[in-house]
Amino acid sequence: MSTTHPRSTPSTQLATSADGTPIAYEVSGSGPALVLVDGAMCQRAMGPARGLATELADRFTVYAYDRRGRGASGPGATPYAVERELEDLAAVLDAAGGSASVFGASSGATLALEAARRDVPIERLAVYESPFIVDDTHAANDPELPTRVREMVEGGRRGQAVRTFLRTVGVPAPVIMLMPLLPAWRQMTGVAHTLPHDLTIVVGHQQGRPLEPGYYDAVRPRTLVVAGAESPAYMRNAQAAIAAALPHARLETLPGQTHMIKPKVLAPVLASFMLG
């Protein structure tokens, strides 16, 4: 169980996942509950969650949490599996009153979709650019990539693990070369051990094949699938495929946007859908 704090001044609270792992979260704003699920390397202190919470706090009670192994959340009381992260999300939803709307970004979008597919209590769902590869507009990713990155981390090569991930997601080589000089590099390598988790969540959907027929048939919530108009074709095509596969979904493409979320642009779109 979590303790309560004034919602106007977010402070860290803890939910306990099914395997005993403490999951840290913070609450801000007032209104219907909305849980934010981050993507790879992101956490409350690094990524779009706090910016989105700030933009949405006048309309929602926003729950931002650190996925296991990040920030103030525990590393995991049992070996990693996607199911453990679904239980983590369920624990935060329980803290939010038993159910809530959910927004997921990138691999967090894939996680949120999987939670809805497995009947985790989600009221409405919005997802931003789940990084699938469902056609030949991008080369498939190596199915063994999660294992290779995990071996890098276990061998003490955390920087190599981060660079491998950045190359995989299309960050230009000159930018990757400069990354170790930036203050954020320490934070990025600090969560390198979670990269195999994110890759495990998505790599099965990155093989250049269409989505398995019927895979998302059990998803009940109304869903908004969001793509950036300036994202690569494979990413936009994947969002269209996801929206078409969901029983109650629509696709919205945001002009001028890429995979990097801009809270001021995205927040009004989320609010309109969640409250509509």
Averaged pLDDT for residues 147-174 = 97
Q: Is residue 138 in some structural domain?
A: no
Domain boundary among 171, 202, 233: 202
pLDDT of residue 3: 38
Mean of the per-residue pLDDT values of the chain: 95
- Full strand arrangement of the beta sheet holding 100-105: 13-16, 22-29, 61-65, 33-37, 100-105, 122-128, 222-228, 249-254
% of the chain at pLDDT higher than 90: 96
Q: Are residues 171 and 43 in the same domain?
A: no
* Nearest partner of 163 among 140, 142, 136, 192, judged by Cα: 192
Q: Are residues 58 and 177 in the same domain?
A: no
Averaged pLDDT for residues 165-172 = 95
- Write out the residue range of the structural domain in which residue 78 sits: 13-133+208-275
Whether the predicted model's global pTM rises above the 0.75 cut: yes
Instruction: Report the DSSP pairing between strands 22-29 and 61-65.
Output: antiparallel
Q: Are residues 75 and 194 in the same domain?
A: no
Q: Are residues 122 and 222 in the same domain?
A: yes
* Nearest partner of 166 among 199, 205, 128, 139, judged by Cα: 199
Q: Are residues 22 and 85 in the same domain?
A: yes
Q: Is residue 3 in some structural domain?
A: no
Our measurement of the distance from residue 26's CA atom to the centroid of its chain's CA atoms, rounded to an integer in Å, reads: 16
The CA-atom distances, in angstroms, between 156 and each of 159, 161, 166, 245, 266 are 9, 9, 18, 40, 37
Q: Are residues 255 and 124 in the same domain?
A: yes
pLDDT in tens, 77-98: 999 999 999 999 999 999 999 9
Amino acid at 66: D
Domain boundary among 187, 202, 217: 202
Averaged pLDDT for residues 136-140 = 97
Q: What is the CATH number of the domain that holds 113?
A: 3.40.50.1820
The count of residues in the chain is 276
Instruction: Please give the residue that has the higher pLDDT: either 227 or 2.
Output: 227
pLDDT of residue 9: 55
Q: Are residues 160 and 76 in the same domain?
A: no
Q: Is residue 8 in some structural domain?
A: no
pLDDT of residue 2: 38
pLDDT in tens, 53-63: 999 999 999 99
Q: Are residues 186 and 221 in the same domain?
A: no
Averaged pLDDT for residues 205-229 = 98
* Nearest partner of 38 among 8, 3, 63, judged by Cα: 63
Number of domains in the chain: 2
pLDDT of residue 179: 94
Q: Are residues 170 and 81 in the same domain?
A: no
Q: Are residues 169 and 245 in the same domain?
A: no
pLDDT of residue 11: 85
Domain boundary among 168, 184, 202: 202
Q: Is residue 268 in some structural domain?
A: yes
Sign of the torsion angle spanned by Cα atoms 163, 49, 215, 234: negative
Q: Are residues 81 and 47 in the same domain?
A: yes
Query: Which 3 state secondary structure label does DSSP give 60?
Result: coil
Instruction: Please give the residue that has the higher pLDDT: either 9 or 20.
Output: 20
Q: Are residues 215 and 91 in the same domain?
A: yes
Say how far apart CA 156 and CA 158 lie, in whole Å.
6
